[in-house]
Amino acid sequence: MAVKVIIPTPLRAYAGKRDSAEFKAATVGEALGHLTTEFADLRKHLFTEDGKLRSFVNVYVNDEDIRYLSKENTPTKDGDTISIVPSIAGGCR
């Protein structure tokens, strides 16, 4: 058992076209660390140069926004799902 990270469509190109990945992780930050180590191209899309999560990328543990939990220190347990939800604007013209 591990934590499942769901990779959204716009970011799959930077994650070997994968739609999800599983890691052993005790916090959200740890899981995202594993994710961006495995898929280095993802890093600049998720984190700023000084390592902060970008403001237009929302991260959820199950259905809760980590901004209202403990942000990247939010603990995770086996079977949790982490969703990365970037803003998309398409309508589409």
Partner 1 sequence: MGTITQSPTGTKPATLSNDEILRYSRHLIMPEVGMDGQLKLKNAKVLLIGTGGLGAPLGLYLAAAGVGKLGLVDFDVVDFTNLQRQVTFGTSDVGKFKSEAARERLSNLNPAIEIQAFETKLTSENALELFKDFDVIVDGTDNFPTRYLVNDACILLGKPNVYGSIFRFEGQATVFGMPDGPCYRCLYPEPPPPGLVPSCAEGGVLGVLPGIVGSIQAMETIKLLLGIGDSLAGRLLLFDALGMKFRELKLRKNPNCPMCGEHRTITKLIDYYEFCGVRGEEAPGPDVQVPEITPRELKSRLDRGDDIFILDVREPHEYQICSLKGHLIPLGELTRRVHELDSSREIVAHCRSGKRSAEAVDFLRKTGFRKILNLKGGILAWSDEVDPSVPKY
Write out the residues near partner 1 by the rule CB under 8 A.
8-10, 13-14, 19, 41, 45, 54-56, 58, 60, 63-65, 67-68, 83, 85-93
Task: Name which of 22 and 41 has its Cβ closer to partner 1.
Answer: 41
Pairing state of beta strands 81-86 and 3-6?
parallel
- The CA distance from 77 to 27, in Å, is 8
Q: Whole-number minimum distance, CB 50 to partner 1, in Å?
A: 15
- Among residues 24, 7, 5, 23, which one has the least CA distance to residue 15? 7
What's the gap between Cα 83 and its chain centre? 6
Of 1 and 88, nearer to partner 1 (C-beta) is: 88
Give the nearest distance from C-beta 44 to partner 1 in angstroms: 8
Q: Least distance in Å: CB of 79 to partner 1?
A: 16
Return the residue matching tokens 């992780």: 25
Among residues 1 and 89, whose Cβ is nearest to partner 1? 89
Q: How far apart are CA 33 and CA 29, in angstroms?
A: 6
